[in-house]
């Protein structure tokens, strides 16, 4: 049993490397994903993830750094959303939707010029978690430090943005400025994560662990810690399943994180149902309590 659980990681250097990458990506996604969930930026996050596709495709075609290409793609996506929303008075999700499909289509067009079109596109969309290099790990660690620094420095405006734009503005923090900084943090997360889980699946690690944290946590910090634990657990189990069952690693990791959320949501529902039943019994046992005036 022990060999089944730990053997693959002890015996294979490439799998250990993948686990380290998964842990780093889980930690980055836990921090950024918490604010994505609280501010309701899932669609924007998805669009940013797809916005990097043409940049990465161009990098593959012309032979420059994939990370640089992804960063350029994310930058274009963010600027585009900002311009379309401001100049044409379209709602945020319309602007995001337009650029989302536009950038994805551009990415596929650029990639179609490549000889290994299908293979490269699969790598961009689903990642290459088993092909992570040491330099990738260094870059991901730097991204983790940067994302944590942004989240710490902007913790007050980010918290206010998670509650209400009006409260943010009347507290002296510019909604536009800190919303854009938050988007930049999400973009950095996507750029740092796409090589591991791919642009299509990075949203899963951004959303599922943070949403699991939101089910239990009473504080933002706790939500981030729960999200990181769920992400790291999903990475471990996902890689293990991938190794033993010979299935796609990135997809296994993300699917596992969604399963963890589903299981936790069921547990929370059962707890609520039990608490509700307890309240009903309590009311039946102590009927005099009905006479009390509830001062809310």
Partner 1 sequence: MSARIEATGLAVGYGHRPIVEGLNFSLQPGELLVLIGTNGSGKSTLLKTLAGLVTAQKGNVNVLGAEPGTQHSLVGYLPQHPVSSHTLPLRVEDVVAMGRFAHLGLTRRARAEDHRIVQESMERTGAIAYKSRPLRDLSGGQQQRTHLAQVLARRADVLLLDEPTAGLDLLGRQAVAELVAQERARGVAVVMATHELSDADTADMVMLLAQRVVAQGSPTTALTDAALRECFGFTQPH
* Closer Cβ to partner 1, 135 or 296, answer by number: 296
Contact string 184-213 vs partner 1 (x = CB under 8 A): ---------------------------x-x
* Closer Cβ to partner 1, 92 or 102, answer by number: 92
Q: Total residues at the site for partner 1 (CB under 8 A)?
A: 30
Cα–Cα–Cα angle for 34, 39, 45, nearest 5°? 75
Residue 214 engages partner 1 in binding (rule: CB under 8 A): yes
* Closer Cβ to partner 1, 154 or 240, answer by number: 154
Nearest approach in angstroms of CB 265 to partner 1 is 12
Residue 219 engages partner 1 in binding (rule: CB under 8 A): yes
* Closer Cβ to partner 1, 116 or 171, answer by number: 171
Alpha-carbon distance of 212 to 265, in angstroms, equals 8
* Closer Cβ to partner 1, 87 or 218, answer by number: 218
Nearest approach in angstroms of CB 18 to partner 1 is 31
Window 124-153: residues binding partner 1 (CB under 8 A) = 153
The three-state (H, E, C) secondary structure of 172-234, written as one string: CCCHHHHHHHHHHHHHHHHHHHHHHHCCCCHHHHHHHHHHHHHHHCCCHHHHHHHHHHHHHHH
* Closer Cβ to partner 1, 84 or 214, answer by number: 214
Alpha-carbon distance of 101 to 117, in angstroms, equals 19
Q: Which two tokens stand for residue 172?
A: 């002296």
Window 150-169: residues binding partner 1 (CB under 8 A) = 153-154, 156-157, 159-160, 162-164, 166-167, 169
Window 31-50: residues binding partner 1 (CB under 8 A) = 37-38
Helix spans in the chain (H) = 2-11, 13-39, 42-51, 53-62, 66-88, 92-111, 117-126, 134-153, 155-163, 165-170, 175-197, 202-216, 220-245, 249-285
Is 177 in contact with 201 (CB distance < 8 Å)? no
Give the residue among 41, 59, 27, 24 at the shortest CA–CA distance from 186. Answer: 41
Window 71-110: residues binding partner 1 (CB under 8 A) = none
Beta-carbon contacts of 91 under 8 Å, excluding residues fewer than 6 positions away, are: 85
Q: Select from 9, 43, 173, 233 the one that contacts partner 1 (CB under 8 A).
A: 173
Count CA atoms closer than 13 A to 259's CA, side-chain side.
Answer: 11
The footprint of partner 1 (CB under 8 A) covers: 37-38, 153-154, 156-157, 159-160, 162-164, 166-167, 169-173, 211, 213-214, 217-220, 222-223, 294-296
């Amino acid at each position: 049993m022990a060999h089944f659980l730990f053997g693959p990681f002890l015996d294979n250097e490439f799998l250990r490397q993948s686990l380290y990458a998964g842990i780093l990506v889980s930690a980055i996604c836990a921090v950024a994903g918490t604010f994505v969930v609280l501010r309701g930026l899932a669609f924007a996050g998805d669009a940013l993830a797809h916005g990097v596709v043409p940049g990465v495709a161009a990098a593959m075609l012309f032979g420059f750094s994939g990370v640089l290409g992804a960063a350029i793609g994310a930058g274009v996506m963010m600027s585009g959303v900002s311009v379309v929303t401001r100049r044409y008075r379209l709602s945020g999700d319309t602007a995001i939707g337009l650029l989302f499909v536009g950038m994805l289509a551009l990415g596929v067009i650029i990639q179609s010029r490549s000889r290994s079109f299908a293979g490269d596109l699969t790598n961009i969309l689903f990642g290459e978690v088993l092909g992570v290099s040491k330099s990738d790990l260094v870059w991901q660690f730097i991204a983790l430090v940067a994302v944590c620094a942004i989240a710490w420095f902007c913790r007050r405006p980010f918290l206010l943005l998670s509650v209400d734009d009006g409260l943010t503005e009347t507290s002296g923090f510019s909604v536009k400025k800190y919303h854009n900084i938050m988007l930049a943090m999400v973009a950095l997360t996507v750029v740092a994560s796409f090589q591991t889980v791919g642009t299509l699946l990075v949203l899963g690690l951004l959303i599922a662990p943070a949403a699991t944290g939101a089910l239990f946590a009473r504080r933002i910090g706790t939500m981030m810690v729960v999200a990181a634990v769920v992400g790291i657990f999903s990475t471990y189990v996902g890689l293990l399943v991938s190794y033993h069952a010979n299935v796609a690693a990135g997809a296994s990791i993300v699917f596992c994180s969604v399963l963890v959320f589903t299981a936790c949501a069921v547990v929370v529902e059962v707890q609520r149902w039990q608490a509700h039943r307890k309240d009903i019994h309590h009311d039946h046992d102590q009927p005099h309590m009905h006479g009390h005036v509830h001062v809310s």
